[in-house]
Amino acid sequence: MAAPTKKREIQPRNENIGHNGEEHSSSDDQSDSENEDASEAEQGMEIQVDFEGRNPQDPDFNGIKILLQQLFLKAHLDLSGLTDLIISQNYVGSVVKQSSNDTEDSDEDENEDPNNVFGITTVVNISDRQVDNQPCVKQLRDLLKQLAEEHATDATNALIRNVLENDAAPLGLLINERFINIPAQISVPLFENLVSEIDRAAKKKMPFKFSYFILICKVYEIQNPKKDPQTKNKNNAPHVDILWSNREEEIFAEEADCSFEFSVENESDSGLEGTWTESDNEMKPYRKVLLFESSKLQSIIDKIKLHVAGASS
């Protein structure tokens, strides 16, 4: 059973979220053209939502699992077990929830939509010593070894395997997942809270003193035919733009000790939802795996602060 809920303020408030798939009513005598106009207007609609960070609780199970599914897709991984693990260690990590206007603490979560989880930021210890207690940890380790063997360079594969097999250098899997259109600014307080909680847990001799972190990012390659056709790379391939689902993770990539990527084009990728047309550029989904020393985490967060502040100004 999870510990009592603690709320954490998240800045900025009142962020815009794309309104996808919202049902609307219309009278039976509306013309087709009116319906089309309403549909087009709705697709462009934005709503203002206040967010807050809370420690994960049992009612968040379905919402957290959905977020994990959009990251891991068809990987051989017990996502229910991983979700249970995240909730059981809820003194570390946050879920992003819609803020409640109710000022009373009692019974405020009873009527809350259990799927109202917009993001999850946490860390899971995937060191070898955790395998016996958590089968999903063994699956995560096996998955990372397999992916590195198949897609990484020899040097990167050797480094990742060495970290996974070195119990003297504990490894944490950072999970930084949220729905599309929630801006990168929200990641700063989430990561700052996470750093504080990791430090607090480590001081209590809990298994959260890490030497390395590994982060799996959602990335999309977009072939952009509107760009100058003369601007091709050395292999004479068309220009390709890179889109990070979580924009702040590009900063992590710049600071990573090593990385590799792999395509998930043949899997159902729900990371970018919405209404697409034939004129939209083709987006090929990838996953990018980053490994970096834990000592870099705070400096990365500081860079994210500067990056998102500059982008929003």
- Is there a domain that residue 223 lies in? yes
Q: What pLDDT shows up at residue 229?
A: 53
Q: What is the share, in percent, of the chain residues with pLDDT greater than 90?
A: 57
Q: What pLDDT shows up at residue 230?
A: 55
Which is nearest to 7 in space by CA: 99, 86, 76? Answer: 99
User: Is residue 173 pLDDT above 60, yes or no?
Assistant: yes
The per-residue pLDDT of the chain, averaged, comes to: 80
Domain containing 164 equals: 7-16+48-312
- Is there a domain that residue 32 lies in? no
Q: What pLDDT shows up at residue 24?
A: 37
pLDDT range class, residue 160, cuts 50, 70, 90? very high
* CA–CA separation, 201 and 305 (whole Å): 24
Kindly state the average pLDDT of the residues 203-212: 95
Which is nearest to 125 in space by CA: 65, 170, 69? Answer: 170
Tally of CA atoms within 13 A in the half-sphere of 5 that contains its CB: 19
Kindly state the average pLDDT of the residues 219-248: 74
Kindly state the average pLDDT of the residues 266-285: 61
pLDDT range class, residue 252, cuts 50, 70, 90? very high
Q: What pLDDT shows up at residue 77?
A: 95
User: Is residue 287 pLDDT above 50, yes or no?
Assistant: yes
Q: What pLDDT shows up at residue 276?
A: 39
Tell me the pTM: 0.79
- Is there a domain that residue 177 lies in? yes
Kindly state the average pLDDT of the residues 214-233: 75
- Is there a domain that residue 1 lies in? no
Q: Higher model confidence: residue 103 or residue 40?
A: 40
Residues 6 or more apart whose CB falls under 8 angstroms from that of 313 comprise: none
Q: Higher model confidence: residue 34 or residue 223?
A: 223
- Is there a domain that residue 278 lies in? yes
pLDDT range class, residue 308, cuts 50, 70, 90? confident
Q: What pLDDT shows up at residue 273?
A: 45
User: Is residue 20 pLDDT above 50, yes or no?
Assistant: no
Kindly state the average pLDDT of the residues 151-158: 97
User: Is residue 142 pLDDT above 80, yes or no?
Assistant: yes
Which is nearest to 214 in space by CA: 181, 171, 265, 263? Answer: 171
Q: How many independent structural domains does the chain possess? A: 1
User: Is residue 32 pLDDT above 90, yes or no?
Assistant: no
DSSP symbols for the chain = -PPPP-EEE-SS-SEEEE--S------TT--HHHHHHHHHHHHT-EEEE-EEEE---GGGHHHHHHHHHHHHTT-S--HHHHHHHHHHTTTS-EEEEEPP-----TTTTTTS-TT---EEEEEEE--GGGTTT-HHHHHHHHHHHHHHHHHS-HHHHHHHHHHHT-TTS-EEEEEEEE-TTS-GGGHHHHHHHHHHHHHHHHHTT-S---SEEEEEEEEEEEE-TTS-TT---TT-PPPEEEEESSTTHHHHHHH-SEEEEEE-TTS---SS-S---TTSPPEEEEEEEEEEEGGGHHHHHHHHHHHHHHHH-
pLDDT digits (tens, 9 = 90+) for 58-108: 999 999 999 999 999 999 999 999 999 999 999 999 999 987 764 344 455
Q: What pLDDT shows up at residue 103?
A: 38
- Is there a domain that residue 243 lies in? yes
pLDDT digits (tens, 9 = 90+) for 186-205: 999 999 999 999 999 999 99
Q: What pLDDT shows up at residue 189?
A: 95
- Is there a domain that residue 31 lies in? no
- Is there a domain that residue 290 lies in? yes
Kindly state the average pLDDT of the residues 115-139: 89
Q: Identify the weakest region by mean pLDDT among 41-45, 78-82, 284-288.
A: 41-45
